[in-house]
């Protein structure tokens, strides 16, 4: 058997036109997409959070969503009142949304509705019967309103965004996460806290005007941030969900006004809720 010596060919060496090998084992598809889009995620809002340790049933999974300082929470609250809030997801929830602020915003709203409603009731009762009321008369609080506030606020502020997110996921619209949905709805209810404070005033027209302003501001905030998500769906009919959301928001505003701030100054037996007529003296 004969052996032939073969010398290496210089053309096989790596050069400008030579073969190059690259490993794709460590490549993250989301990172590659960020490079192609200039560092932003494909959905145009905020980047996805890294995977949390453990499953969603563990406490460790939710800890990063409560790791937020008070200054950031306050900024995210009052930013919902600004006209620039239509870019709230990308401008104010960066680098990541949180659950701490939405939870305490909704909880504070429940407390405000009950306390300010009770105070409005006491003021209306005193002004209606100033001669028969005394500072020592016990005040009867309607604790049933507290249960109503808990069910109404948490159902709208937590239940509705979760249902909307599930429905959009079923329809194939995955433009945001469930945490982002809860953050938008939770912070979006901040306006109702000062509205509840102003509604202590026993003036019917003022209460209606303030509730109307609260409805317009919070409604604009939700529509401006939710409609772009709905518009990303392939089916155009998905956009009609915004009409349902506006109707539900109007129902919420009406419930706040009727259930918690329908106390007026009036005399016993007088049906006029704004001003009681002056009785005519008899001779």
83-96 tens-digit pLDDT? 666 677 777 777 77
Q: Which residue has the higher pLDDT, 164 or 133?
A: 164
The CB-side HSE value for 93 (13 A sphere, CA atoms) comes to 33
Mean pLDDT of the chain: 75
pLDDT class of 189 with cuts at 50, 70, 90: very high
- Residue 266's pLDDT is 61
Q: For residues 122 and 117, give the distance between their C-alpha atoms in angstroms, rounded to a whole number.
A: 9
Tell me how far apart the 2 most distant CA atoms of the chain are, in Å.
Answer: 145
The predicted-structure confidence for 24-46, as pLDDT tens digits, reads as follows 444 443 343 343 334 444 344 44
Looking at residue 173, its pLDDT comes to: 79
Quote the CA–CA distance of 81 and 224 in Å, as a whole number. Answer: 12
Task: Report the domain count for the chain.
Answer: 1
- 164 lies in some domain: yes
CB 137 within 8 A of CB 223: no
Helix H or strand E segment including 206:
helix 204-231
pLDDT for 130: 64
Separation between Cα atoms, residue 244 and residue 223, nearest integer Å: 11
pLDDT number for residue 153 = 96
Classify residue 6: in a domain, yes or no: no
**Region 61-83 average pLDDT:** 83
**117 within domain boundaries:** yes
- Is residue 62 situated within a structural domain? no
Predicted confidence (pLDDT) at residue 181 exceeds the cutoff of 50: yes
Interhelix angle 178-188/70-78, rounded to 10 degrees, is: 70
Per the domain annotation, does 22 fall within a domain?
no
Full domain range(s) for residue 236: 70-260
Is position 13 within any domain? no
């Amino acid at each position: 058997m004969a052996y032939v010596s073969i010398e290496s060919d210089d053309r096989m060496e790596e050069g400008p036109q030579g073969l190059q090998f690259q490993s794709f084992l460590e490549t993250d598809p989301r990172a590659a997409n960020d490079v192609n889009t200039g560092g932003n995620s494909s959905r145009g809002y905020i980047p996805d959070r890294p995977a949390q340790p453990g499953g969603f049933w563990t406490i460790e999974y939710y800890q990063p969503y409560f790791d937020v300082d008070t200054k950031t929470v306050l900024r995210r609250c009052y930013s919902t009142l600004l006209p620039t809030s239509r870019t709230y997801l990308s401008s104010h929830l960066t680098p990541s949304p949180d659950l701490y602020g939405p939870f305490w915003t909704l909880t504070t709203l429940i407390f405000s509705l009950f306390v300010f409603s009770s105070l409005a009731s006491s003021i209306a009762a005193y002004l209606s019967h100033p001669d028969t009321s005394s500072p020592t008369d016990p005040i009867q609080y309607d604790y049933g309103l507290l249960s109503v506030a808990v069910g109404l606020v948490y159902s709208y502020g937590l239940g509705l965004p979760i249902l909307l997110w599930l429905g959009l996921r079923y329809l194939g619209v995955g433009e945001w996460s469930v945490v982002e949905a809860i953050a938008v709805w939770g912070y979006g209810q901040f306006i109702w806290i000062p509205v509840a404070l102003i509604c202590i005033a026993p003036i019917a027209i003022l209460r209606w005007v303030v509730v109307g302003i609260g409805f317009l501001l919070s409604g604009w905030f939700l529509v401006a941030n939710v409609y772009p998500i709905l518009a990303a769906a392939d089916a155009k009919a998905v956009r009609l969900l915004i009409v349902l959301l506006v109707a539900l928001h109007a129902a919420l505003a009406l419930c706040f006004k009727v259930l918690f701030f329908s106390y007026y100054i009036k005399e016993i037996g007088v049906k006029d809720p704004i001003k009681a007529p002056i009785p005519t003296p008899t001779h």
